[in-house]
Amino acid sequence: MKVTKENVQEIKKICVIGPECTGKTDLSQFLSQHYQTPWVQEYARAYLNKLGRPYDQIDLLKIAHGQLRMEDEWAYEANRFLVCDTNLMVIKIWSEYKYGSCDPDILRKLNERKYDHYLLTYIDVPWENDPQREHPTKREFFWNLFKNEVSQSGVPFTEIAGDRETRRKKAVEVIDKIL
């Protein structure tokens, strides 16, 4: 399907979501290649790499805006659906945990966005150190936050766990049913 301004809303959006270091990017890349469709990378990673200082709460708003811009741009290249490697729910959870609140603009934009399915990645992937990852000992705590948020979103979701091949197979089964 050739995506135009008129039909861009018909593109399905699958969001791969979960705590830090749970295989979201690996799964997003795989799905993109498997279905020959683009994936929207995590804007925060590039933003924080260029920041040159510790981030603060206002940076989360800038990251949210950047994430949405990328999602909107890549939708025009999608082949039936778009893979999103994260969304504003991650920023909401992170902001509420770290700062005790979330910018109302982020909450509003999160509520305005439509996703067709969440793939919620479990914490059974080994932790890999990364300068942008902050809480290796709180994985279960964050897993529970993500599961609660996704459950309350009203969007169908599937928990993705197991080794790489098991995760990939489960994600493909889910997406094939959606398509």
Q: Which domains does the chain have, with CATH numbers?
A: 8-178 (3.40.50.300)
User: What is the pLDDT, as a whole number, of residue 6?
Assistant: 67
26-50 as b/e: b if 16+ CB within 10 A: bbbebbbeebebbbbbbbbeebbee
Distance of alpha carbon 150 from alpha carbon 122, whole angstroms: 13
CA-nearest of 163, 169, 158, 67 to 113 is 67
pTM here is 0.94
What is the distance of C-alpha 6 from the center of its chain? 25
pLDDT value, residue 137:
87
- The tens-digit pLDDT sequence of the chain (179 residues) is 667 766 777 899 999 999 999 999 999 999 999 999 999 999 999 999 999 899 999 999 999 999 999 999 999 999 989 999 999 999 999 999 999 999 999 999 999 999 999 999 999 999 987 767 777 889 999 999 999 999 999 999 999 999 999 999 999 999 999 98
> For 8, which DSSP code?
G
Closest alpha carbon to 23 in 152, 170, 174: 170
